[in-house]
């Protein structure tokens, strides 16, 4: 008899400053591979762009990383892959995503997607990060959820964060 596998428990990391959120992003960046997709959710000002910029800066060495709010997509060259940073906030229909070329990047390049609820369907193996405001303006709860394929990498991230 087959037993259904349970979904992994979400992993939550508390951050008490933008600097700590950037450190968490760098720890995750070190574990990223070609074909990974990170879906970044949270309200306006939650830190989605800050997190994505921290990942991009660490992987590329770039210092001037504009938000893709108006361009919708920015691409960057890292050592092992191209990084696609997309901000889908201004899209009014999932049909508009096809025009951005993200389908070509999924499964091949690293994709950092802000406002992933605008996607018709996010990749099934995407890592979802929900940035939630804490008790004060600088505190955040970073809640990671995934399909199970990220378990080992998130364990390494948690261990590195605690040490």
For residue range 59-94, what is the model confidence (pLDDT) as tens digits?
999 988 988 887 899 999 999 899 999 999 988 887
Residues 6+ apart with CB under 8 A from 5: 148
Q: What is the pTM of this model?
A: 0.91
- Domains contained in the chain, CATH given: 13-162 (3.40.50.300)
Residues 6+ apart with CB under 8 A from 62: 56, 76
Specify the pLDDT at position 129: 97
Specify the pLDDT at position 162: 87
Which residues make beta-bridge pairs with 82?
77
Specify the pLDDT at position 98: 82
Q: Which of 163, 144, 157 minimizes the C-alpha distance to 24? A: 157
Positions of E strands within 36-120: 37-41, 73-77, 82-87, 110-114
* Measured distance between the N- and C-terminal CA atoms of the chain, rounded to whole angstroms: 42
Which residues make beta-bridge pairs with 41?
130
Specify the pLDDT at position 35: 95
DSSP state of 45: T
Specify the pLDDT at position 1: 43
- Enumerate residue ranges in the chain where pLDDT < 70: 1-8
């Amino acid at each position: 008899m087959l037993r259904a596998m349970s979904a992994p428990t979400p992993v939550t990391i508390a951050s008490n400053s933008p600097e700590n959120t950037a450190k968490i992003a760098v720890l995750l960046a070190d574990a990223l591979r070609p074909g990974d997709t990170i879906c970044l959710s949270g309200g306006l000002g939650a830190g989605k762009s800050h997190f994505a910029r921290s990942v991009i800066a660490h992987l590329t060495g770039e210092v001037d990383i504009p938000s893709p709010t108006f361009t919708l997509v920015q691409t960057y060259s890292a050592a092992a892959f191209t990084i696609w940073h997309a901000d889908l906030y201004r899209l009014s229909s999932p049909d508009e995503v096809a025009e951005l070329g993200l389908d070509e990047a999924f499964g091949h390049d690293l994709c950092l997607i802000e406002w992933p609820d605008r996607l018709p369907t996010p990749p099934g193996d995407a890592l979802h990060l929900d940035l939630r405001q804490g008790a004060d303006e600088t505190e955040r709860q970073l809640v990671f959820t995934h399909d199970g394929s990220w378990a080992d990498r998130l364990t390494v991230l948690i261990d590195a964060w605690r040490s």
